[in-house]
Structure 1
Amino acid sequence: MNISVVIPLLNEEESLVELHKWIVTVMKSHHFSYEVVFIDDGSTDRSWEIIEKLSSENPEVKGIRFLTNFGKSQALHAGFAKAEGDVIITMDADLQDNPEEIPELYDMIVKQKFDLVSGWKKKRYDSVVSKNLPSKLFNWAARKTSGVQLNDFNCGLKAYKKVVVKNIEVSGEMHRYIPVLAKNAGFGKIGEKVVKHQARKYGETKFGMDRFINGFLDLITIWFLSRFGKRPMHLFGALGSMMFIIGFLAAGFIGINKLIRLYNHKPTVLVTENPWFYIALATMIIGTQLFLAGFLGEIILRTKSNEGRYKISETLNLQ
């Protein structure tokens, strides 16, 4: 199979039929073998009924339905697990991503040998204040932090080699950083393509300003995971050692000061009355806690189990 189109969605009943027709037209005109995997992330409208109808009419339409809303990252994870195409295309269901871009994205993966190609909505039809400016700031911070030089991390239209999606774990709200996850997994040939951005035709956006706040928090998380995810003791151990050194120096200062005063026959004070005693005590306790955090992190890393992060209620046309 050439292409799997993976589409997470939430309450997009108005756009699904039109999107499906558009994708099928593109696939047939380029003679691709394909499948379309819709992941219904707990919709409360008629989205699943429409997917059922489409799958009964077209066996290449597959469906995954979550019991409730678990988030876009979990929807993508479920779609990636079921995708069978040599190239996986992800896109949003709101018709703002243009299926006409799929053939060129496919060629960039197959012919130019990219591991991943991310869309760049250079010209956008969103609000400048609520989306464009925060998005530019977010993308700048993501580039500086991750080292992945993309202009639009948030673009839902992306293409992947099959081996990429089968070897990355998309969890939490990390769908924004799939290129970073891919880079960390060893897939370093990441490209970018300017794509058309369509004005939203139906409904309202499911994302508010809070997604940028969450995005920056996730950026800190992925920076930490990229640097120390495999060896948390490298961070916590280094910080713990620094705290211990400060504590030992403070304790040494107390001891030397006391010996000097005794040698000079000067009156001494109780150790507990010296503020350096509490500095030494606090830093040693913090150092111990940091070491323990590092040890616990290493133990968890070695014993973690891949527990389900979402629950599927039913599927369509899937094994």
Structure 2
Amino acid sequence: MVDVTAIARPGAEPVDLSLVVPLFNEEESVGPLIDRIVVGMAAYAGRWNLVLVDDGSTDATILRARTAIARPDIEAVIVELQRNFGQTAAMQAGIDQADGRLIATLDGDLQNDPADIPRMAAELEARDLDLLVGWRKNRKDGLFLRKVPSWCANKLIGRITGVKLHDYGCSLKLYRSAVIKQVKLLGEMHRFIPAWVAAVVPSSRIGEMAVNHSARAYGTSKYGISRTFRVILDLLSVLFFMRYRARPGHFFGSLGLGIGAISMLILTFLAVQKFIFGQDIGTRPLLIIGVMLFLSSVQLITTGILSEMIARTYFQNKETGSYTVRQVFRQAD
């Protein structure tokens, strides 16, 4: 990860809110997006700025973004990543660059409404929250390809993580900077940001608010039905990290001890059959099962010890990055 200079100008008043927008092949959307942001943020009383993150676009997104921010009514910066690292890494790059007391994230495809952000900021302060999640109550997406899988995923995520929200997948979220900067986003974990935040603050400081949602005006969605299977796999990872991130040995050790107990019962039973009743156990499948379970138990316990060592190394070095910045453009450039 390359350290980059913050947006704030020397001697300027502190930034109250930073907007982070990841972009990937959104050449048609980026101009209208900035226009909507300027109009929508007109109702916001504090100082705000914009962080655009180009996630290795292969079209003219970066060029049009540079042109779009060359205007006097906006304070903006573009972070150009070296290649396509994915939405999670792009979002992390923007959060690292943002210097606002509050940080808002939204998609670059014009489906989120920037006019919701001032209302969300007021709501977050009024309810004294650390994270306010947008709820696309009237979602403008396909029923079977987007809405139904999303509804199932939201129910499953809420049940497993304990953070009850209607819409985990909405990119329009508002955070307190001091809280979200404690969370490092890796892989494709942007869908589970409320769960990661719940590992830092109580879930009572996480709320949601109904927001506007529009149909995609340009381009095509970067997601398909295959995302459902990735969500399930990611959810297992979230569950593991929420409960066992600092003590992975307990997870693997518990499995190992449980399987070991079953193997000992099987082997004890076979030993009684052999030495007390004189039965031949050499050809019994149960013997093979018992031995395999014992070996699996030893392997899981050993894995738990190794994972504890890796976890301690990780927590001692938290500067691991998930992206590489090619260059940073400001309006003066």
Bucket of the pairwise TM-score, normalised by the shorter protein: over 0.9
Note if contact 1:41-1:69 (Cα within 8 Å) is conserved in structure 2: yes
8 Å CA contact retained: 1:109, 1:161: no
**Residue of 269, 272, 287 corresponding to 1:253:** 269
**In structure 2, how many angstroms separate the alpha carbons of the residues matched to 1:63 and 1:151?**
32
Superposition pairs of residues 1-319 of structure 1, within 5 angstroms: 1-58=15-72, 60-188=75-203, 189-261=205-277, 268-269=279-280, 272-304=282-314, 305=317, 306-317=319-330
Distance 1:60 1:252, change over 3 A: same
Q: Structure 1 pair 33/258, CA: closer, same or farther in 2 (3 Å)?
A: same
Return the letter of the residue paired with 1:135: S
Task: Name the SS for the 2:208 alignment partner.
Answer: strand
Gaps of 5+ in 2: 1-14
Alpha-carbon distance in structure 2 between the residues aligned to 1:147 and 1:29: 35
Which SS does the other structure have where 1:200 is aligned?
coil
Distance of 1:91 and 1:22 partners within structure 2:
12
Write the distance in 2 (CA, Å) between the matches of 1:6 and 1:220: 28
What is the deviation of 1:31?
3.0
Which secondary structure does the structure 2 equivalent of 1:215 belong to?
helix
Q: Is the Cα–Cα contact under 8 Å of residues 106 and 159 in structure 1 kept in the other structure?
A: yes
Looking at structure 2, the residues matched to 140 and 244 of structure 1 have their Cα atoms a distance apart, in angstroms, of 35
Maintained 8 Å contact 2:41/2:114: no
Name the CA shift for 1:25/1:274 in 2 (closer, same or farther; >3 Å). Answer: closer
The ranges of structure 1 where at least 4 consecutive aligned residues each deviate by more than 4 angstroms after the TM superposition are none
Letter in 2 for 1:94: D
Per-residue deviation, 1:3:
0.8
Alpha carbon RMSD of aligned pairs, Å?
A: 1.7
Query: For residues 273 and 200 of structure 1, what CA distance do their matches in structure 2 show?
Result: 65
The answer to whether the 8 Å contact 2:131/2:207 transfers is yes
- 3-state secondary structure, aligned to 2:327: strand
Identity of aligned residues (%): 34
How far apart in 2 are the matches of 1:259 and 1:40?
71
Task: Please give the alpha-carbon distance, in whole angstroms, between the structure 2 residues aligned to 1:315 and 1:145.
Answer: 39
The amino acid across from 1:20 in the alignment is: I
Does 178-187 or 304-313 show the bigger shift? 304-313
Q: Given residue 193 of structure 1, which amino acid in structure 2 is its aligned partner? A: M
Q: 1:16 to 1:187 in 2, by over 3 A?
A: farther
Structure 1 residues not aligned, in runs of 5+: 263-267
Q: Please, which moves more after superposition, 158-167 or 47-56? A: 47-56
Identify if the C-alpha distance between structure 1 residues 261 and 28 changes in structure 2 by more than 3 Å, giving closer, same or farther. Answer: closer
TM-score normalised by L of structure 2: 0.89
Cα deviation code 1:264-294 (max 9, x no counterpart): xxxx53x533444323211110000100111
Q: Output the TM-score relative to the length of structure 1.
A: 0.93
- Aligned-pair distance for 1:146? 1.1
Once the two structures are overlaid, the 10-residue window that deviates more, 246-255 or 64-73, is 246-255
Does the 8 Å CA contact 2:39/2:115 hold for their aligned counterparts?
no
Contact preservation (8 Å) 1:87, 1:109: no
Contact 1:164–1:182 (CA under 8 A) maintained in structure 2: yes
Match of 1:45, as an amino acid? D
